[in-house]
Amino acid sequence: MGVLLALALTLGSPHWDGSAALWGSLAFAVVVLSIGGATLLIWLMRRGEATRTAALLLAVPPLAALEAWALFGETLALVQLLGFVLAMAGVALARR
């Protein structure tokens, strides 16, 4: 990480856009995604079995890719779709 920071500072020019959109996006990422996600995970683990709840984490990559497809027009290859099916089957098996 330090090497990348040093390269970025020496090869590029630092630019900070202090707009309201940037601060709003940063606040959303910190509060909702990070704190909210961690709180939800801990709450789920306290309410149920940790193994069954942790299995839900395996669903994150397929669901994120499907969200990128739906919202941003990302293309999904057949091998990705097959991987999604396998991952979701694993989640279903672990949650039984």
- The token duo for 34 is 């990070």
Chain-centre distance for alpha carbon 91: 17
Q: Which residues contact 76 (CB under 8 A, 6 or more apart)?
A: 65, 66, 69
For each successive 10 residues of the chain (96 residues), what is the average pLDDT? Answer: 85 82 91 87 84 84 90 92 92 86
Put simply, whether the predicted model's pTM sits higher than 0.75 gets the answer no
Report residue 83 as tokens.
């991987």
Residue 55: which residues within 8 A CB-CB, separation 6 or more?
A: 90, 91, 94, 95
